[in-house]
Structure 1
Amino acid sequence: MSEKYATIYKTIGQNIRRYRKEKGFTQETLAEKASISMSYLTKIEAPNCDKSFSLEVLLDISSALDIDVRNLLENIYSQPTI
């Protein structure tokens, strides 16, 4: 992952985590619903996220959470880029 966008990826990962918890989903449940591995989701949600992800994965996760993908992009522009 490019260090230039690391903060943005971390923010998105934290948004995913927050919405997952609001829905009462475990990481295993969300990973299954989004058709990704639990280890991949764990890396995406980690506070020290070092895993990039595609728009397709983001859309799959938002669909699994039954939310608009824009919700997962909240606060990304309030974070400074490196």
Structure 2
Amino acid sequence: MSQKHSEQYKIIGQAIKKYRKQRGLTQEQLADRVSISISYLTKIEAPNCDQPFSLEVIFDIAEVLEIPAHVLLEDL
């Protein structure tokens, strides 16, 4: 991952974790509903996130969490 954007990935990952927990979903449940592996989601949500992810993944996660995708980007 580019060091240039590593902090932004971490912030988005923490937002995903926050809203997942608010919805009462486990990582396994969210990963299953988004059709990504649990290990991929775990890396996305890790406080030291080293996993880049696409807008498509953000859109899919937001849809499952029933929030607008921009909410995951608000703290950037």
TM-score, structure 1 normalization? 0.91
Q: Specify the alignment match of 2:46 in structure 1.
A: 46
Between structure 1 and structure 2, the one with the greater Rg is 1
Deviations 1:8-47 (A, max 9, x none): 0000000000000000000000001111110000000000
Unpaired segments of 5 or more residues in structure 1?
Answer: 77-82
1:17 aligns with 2:7: no
After the TM superposition, which segments of 4 or more aligned residues of structure 1 sit over 3 Å from their partners?
A: none
> How many residues in Structure 1 have an aligned counterpart in Structure 2?
76
Bigger RCO (CA 8 Å, 6+ sep): 1
Query: C-alpha root-mean-square deviation of aligned residues, in Å?
Result: 0.5
Distance 1:53 1:74 in 2: 17
Q: Work out the percentage of aligned pairs sharing the same amino acid.
A: 59
Say which structure is richer in helix.
Answer: 2
Question: Normalising by the residue count of structure 2, what TM-score does the alignment of the two structures yield?
Answer: 0.98
